Amino acid sequence: MRKVKVVEETAAETWSHRADLAQSAVQERHASRLWGLPKTNLAVVTWPPGSKDRLYWHWHYWWQAHYLDCQIDAAIRRPTKTHKRVLKDTLRGIQRRNLGKLTKNKYYDDKAWLALAWNRAVDEGLARRTKALDALEFDLLAGIDPVMGVLPWRTEETFYNVPSNGPAALLFARTGRLDKARELLDWTFDNLVTESGLVQDGIRMRMHGPEVVDKLYTYNQGTVLGASLEIALALRADVGLRDDEPIDSFAYSKRADDSVFYITHIRAIVEAIVLHMATPQGVILNKPYESGDGDGGLFKGILARYLADVAVRLPEDSRQNIATKKIASRLIMASAESLWSHRLEVDGLPIFSARWTEDARLPHNYGLGPSSLSEAVGLVRIDERDLSVQLSGWMLLEAAARVAAANSQ
């Protein structure tokens, strides 16, 4: 027994070390001060960067929110003064680069992601709650369409989708607005769940009536998993049922009825991911229409973050839940193993592939010359150049470190 435990602890530390390397790679290649201002930090969106990228000419609000979230993961895993300082500098950089109130962004999903990350930092004692964070949360509440009962994708928009309502439901569940969180998520389940259990993208209101956008994006599955879990755990806590307390009587079953609804959806989504969004070995895949670069570069990492939540926090009060936790854990670890085995290394630090089953490509040629005419004239874009792709790899390795640590206990 002692020998097995040593192996498990070594595996947990291995994944933690790999997450450290992912963090170092992003910090080394992408992190810089905003316009040279002291006590600021942001992540340049490409590596190697163009001149406009170095100046943060184009503002990638939600990429920086996920950069912040990854820093929180690292600070929780390895608490250091440096982690806390860089995190605070990043929050400062985001607010200054936004050139005004954070609420002036017209995309509700962007604002929900930043509010989620900032709240995590506050909850972990890594940042302070400020009026700017309060304003973000109230802006999201005020943005809910009074007729539809959910958030549009952006202001003055008639597209109501999971990218906005998934993270907003997760935020509301974590900040004590449970009824509002349930309204957003219940609308999703009522309108966008397929027979397979996966969640479609949204509904666009047209003159002739509602039109379902039926794309099945990986990150939408992730946000719905995360929101469902937070709601289920909050409902259990409301009735005095501990996370690990079994529902072993009719009385308990009645008390936990509401939470079981969301847990049932968690089971269905995790099972559907295995069948429709992963290889037979359990490696998470891009859908053909889900780009590997740009915004799409973040999608699989977001799914990994909330699969890890399921693997670690789903109550072990039934055989079905225990099986779901094991499946979620396998998806994370198989994906992380594949990502790591397909990495490139430059100066001892990893470059991750946009597709976790394929070898990573070098974002530039180090003076060796283009490998083809199309590269020479700039027609080939290397996905691995994007910050989003590298953040997704970092998110996955943080998820693997978390799952490995939980499995070693």
Q: Give the three-state DSSP class for 137.
A: helix
4-8, 31-35, 109-113, 115-119: segment of lowest average pLDDT:
4-8
Sorted by where each begins, the domain ranges of the chain are: 33-142
Q: How far apart are CA 273 and CA 330, in angstroms?
A: 12
Task: Give the angle subtended at the CA of 48 by the CAs of 44 and 52, to the nearest 5°.
Answer: 55
pLDDT confidence band for 368 (50 / 70 / 90): very low
pLDDT tens digits, one per residue of 144-196: 999 999 999 999 999 999 999 999 999 999 999 999 999 999 999 999 999 99
Handedness of CA 5, 9, 10, 12 (dihedral sign): positive
Q: Is the pLDDT of residue 379 over 50?
A: no
pLDDT at 288: 86
Q: Mean pLDDT of all residues in the chain? A: 91
pLDDT at 255: 57
pLDDT confidence band for 296 (50 / 70 / 90): very high
Residues contacting residue 221 through CB under 8 Å, at least 6 positions apart: 198, 199, 269, 272, 273, 277, 303
Q: How far apart are CA 177 and CA 173, in angstroms?
A: 6
Q: Is the pLDDT of residue 143 over 50?
A: yes
Find the helix or strand (DSSP H, E) in which 211 lies. Answer: strand 209-213
pTM: 0.92
Q: Give the residue-averaged pLDDT of 21-26.
A: 98
**Number of other residues whose CB lies within 10 A of the CB of residue 305:** 25
Q: Is the pLDDT of residue 365 over 50?
A: no
52-61, 141-150, 304-313, 372-381: segment of lowest average pLDDT:
372-381
Q: Name the percent of the chain lying above pLDDT 70.
A: 90
Q: How far apart are CA 296 and CA 309, in angstroms?
A: 21
